[in-house]
């Protein structure tokens, strides 16, 4: 397709990666669902995002929504019978459906698992919600902080006086998106043997609970206190926390193992002063005060240079604008620049079939004509449905 008039962004690059040939229909939503669609697209899947005409609820301007990168978007009115039937036809030729709507929504639209699997018994129907498809809270609204709160994870994070949400990484993206993608890959692998699709129910509360398995095990063994900032990994230990530097910046210290802790004390000139203090919880306040006093004498970047190449496990705490310029991340190409915006690249990496960011965010309806015809819908039918308002195009793609 020729570039849309007045649209300066290039077309999406061809799919590449280990999932090349896998076809995915994504019913657009917020946050975790689009992130899962983005991951699958950048692993090589042919992902078609279905959005509402005019776009749905948006947190950012369409051009800034990085989670909408790497795959085309068609705008389809799913409340119209013709729109529902069109999506069912797309699903007949798809391998995966990804949806992150509330329980029962796709059923009411006529796009639930029974409808979809009747059209395509090999389909992997992947659905993601916060509370899951069943249970007393299944129909309630919620966000990452709520799901973490119920699992015990939020209680364990933050300073002693109050829990602090870890952005929305724990339940939304960690417990939701990543577990959904794991479920999709596992179901595709199983289908190669059985020939049958199935429903993947990825609940953020389930995934978040799974993520704290190690901590639950430590708690059960008496090796973890149910108080914040009192344990090995929650900022309680003076050798696993952050320290302020002379310029107001911070360093992150993770010197857990004895040999790394020894390197830390050596680098700070504290060798001999804290003998036997590492695992003596009663001496942790003394230990912390000693480290804090030394770290406060130099700037963050001075400490970064001082500990470079050692095993003291000291790194700078970088800001969002600084991270893409870090020498290690730059050497690995961990960040890429798309349409002038620095952003995380693809992960993980593959030796033979590398994935890639295929392009920047696509507006709702930007690729309606080209994407639907590429999926086998006749161009004349697309034109007719556009005229009828069942489909829509973004202004720049008309």
CA distance 187 to 198: 7
**Alpha carbon separation from 207 to 140, 185, 386 (Å, rounded):** 18, 16, 40
- Whether the CB-CB separation of 37 and 14 falls below 8 Å is answered with no
At 70-79, the pLDDT tens digits run 999 999 999 9
Same domain assignment for residues 32 and 165: yes
Confidence (pLDDT) at 276: 85
Q: Is residue 293 part of a domain?
A: yes
CATH number at residue 376: 3.40.50.10540
**287 belongs to the catalytic site:** no
Please report which helix (H) or strand (E) contains residue 387, including its range.
helix 379-388
Strand locations in 180-226, DSSP E? 198-203
Same domain, 46 and 148: yes
**287: CATH:** 3.30.1540.10
Which pLDDT does position 398 carry in this prediction?
44
Residues 62 and 177 in one domain: yes
DSSP letter, residue 174? I
Task: Please tell me whether residues 281 and 138 are part of one structural domain.
Answer: no
Torsion over CA of 302, 303, 309 and 315, rounded to 10 degrees?
Answer: -120
Position 3 scores a pLDDT of 38
The answer to the question of residue 321 being in a domain is yes
Its domain, for residue 248, covers 240-325
Q: Are residues 110 and 177 in the same domain?
A: yes
Q: Please tell me whether residues 357 and 305 are part of one structural domain.
A: no
**Is 70 exceeded by the pLDDT of residue 384?**
yes
Does 152 map to a domain?
A: yes
Interatomic CA distance for residues 203 and 328, integer angstroms:
35
User: Does the pLDDT at position 360 exceed 80?
Assistant: yes
Question: Is 186 found in the same domain as 89?
Answer: yes
Q: What is the pLDDT of residue 4?
A: 40
Whether residue 17 is contained in a domain is answered as no
Catalytic one of 7, 143, 326, 339: 143
- Shared domain for 202 and 113, answered yes or no, is yes
Q: Which residue reads 């699709």 in tokens? A: 197
Q: What is the spatial distance between Cα 311 and Cα 254, in angstroms, rounded to a whole number?
A: 10
Contact 71, 362 (CB under 8 A): yes
Question: How many degrees, rounded to 5, is the angle at CA 369 between CA 367 and CA 370?
Answer: 65
Annotated active-site residue 172? The verdict is yes
Mean pLDDT of the chain: 94
What local confidence, expressed as pLDDT, does residue 2 receive? Answer: 34
355 contacts: CB under 8 Å, gap ≥ 6:
16, 17, 18, 19, 42, 43, 44, 346
Domain identity same for 271 and 200: no
Give the CB-side neighbour count of residue 357, counting CA atoms within 13 A: 24
Higher-pLDDT residue of 111, 55: 111
Q: Would you say residue 92 lies in a domain?
A: yes
pLDDT tens readout for residues 233-254: 999 999 999 999 999 999 999 9
Indicate if 33 and 143 belong to the same structural domain. Answer: yes
Q: What pLDDT sits at residue 41?
A: 98
Q: Which of 46, 77, 144, 172 is catalytic?
A: 172
The verdict on 44 and 177 lying in the same domain is: yes
Which of 275, 296, 325 finishes a domain? 325
Taking only Cα atoms into account, the Rg of the chain, rounded to an integer number of angstroms, comes to: 25
Q: What is the pLDDT of residue 387?
A: 97
φ and ψ at 160, to 5 degrees? -60, -30
Q: Inter-axis angle of helices 204-211 and 179-194, to 10 degrees?
A: 100
Same domain as 166, residue 112: yes
Evaluate if residue 57 carries a pLDDT over 80: no
In a domain, 312, yes or no: yes
User: In the prediction, which pLDDT does 180 show?
Assistant: 98
Nearest-angstrom CA–CA distance, 264 and 82 = 66
pLDDT band, very low/low/confident/very high, at 395 (cuts 50, 70, 90): low
pLDDT at 7 over 70: no
4: in domain: no
Count: domains in the chain? 2
Query: Whole-model pTM?
Result: 0.94
- Residue 224: inside a domain, yes or no? no
């Amino acid at each position: 397709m020729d570039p849309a008039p007045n649209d300066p962004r290039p077309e999406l690059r061809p799919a590449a990666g280990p999932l090349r040939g896998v076809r995915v229909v994504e019913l657009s939503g917020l946050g975790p669902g689009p992130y899962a669609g983005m991951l699958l697209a950048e692993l090589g899947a042919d992902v078609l995002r279905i959005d509402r005409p005019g776009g749905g609820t948006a947190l950012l301007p369409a051009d800034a929504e990085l989670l909408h990168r790497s795959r085309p978007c068609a705008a389809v009115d799913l409340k119209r019978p013709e729109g529902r039937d069109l999506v069912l036809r797309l699903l007949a030729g798809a391998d995966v459906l990804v949806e992150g709507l509330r329980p029962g929504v796709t059923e009411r639209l006529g796009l639930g698992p029974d409808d979809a699997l009747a059209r395509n018994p090999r389909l992997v129907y992947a659905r993601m919600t916060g509370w899951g498809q069943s249970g007393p809270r299944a129909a309630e609204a919620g966000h990452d902080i709520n799901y973490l709160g119920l699992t015990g994870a939020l209680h364990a994070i933050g300073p002693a006086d109050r829990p602090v949400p870890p952005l929305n990484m724990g339940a939304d993206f960690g417990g939701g998106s990543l577990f959904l993608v794991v479920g999709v890959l596992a179901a595709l692998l199983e289908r190669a043997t059985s020939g049958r699709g199935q429903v993947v129910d990825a609940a953020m509360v389930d995934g978040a609970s799974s993520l704290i398995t190690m901590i639950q095990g430590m708690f059960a063994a008496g090796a973890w206190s149910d108080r914040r900032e009192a344990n090995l990994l929650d900022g309680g230990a003076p050798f696993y926390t952050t320290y302020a530097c002379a310029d107001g910046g911070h360093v992150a210290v993770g010197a857990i193992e004895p040999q790394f802790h020894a390197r830390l004390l050596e680098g700070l000139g504290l060798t001999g002063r804290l003998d036997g203090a590492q695992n003596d919880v009663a001496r942790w306040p003394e230990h912390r005060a000693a480290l804090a006093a030394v770290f406060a004498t130099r700037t963050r970047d001075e400490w970064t240079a001082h500990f470079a190449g050692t095993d003291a496990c000291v790194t700078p705490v970088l800001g969002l604008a600084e991270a893409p310029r870090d020498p290690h991340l730059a050497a690995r190409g961990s960040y890429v620049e798309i349409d002038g915006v620095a952003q995380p690249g693809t992960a993980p990496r593959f030796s033979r079939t590398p994935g890639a960011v295929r392009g920047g965010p696509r507006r709702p309806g930007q690729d309606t004509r080209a994407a639907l015809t590429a999926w086998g819908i006749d161009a004349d039918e697309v034109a007719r449905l556009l005229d009828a308002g069942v489909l829509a195009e973004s202004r720049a793609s008309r």
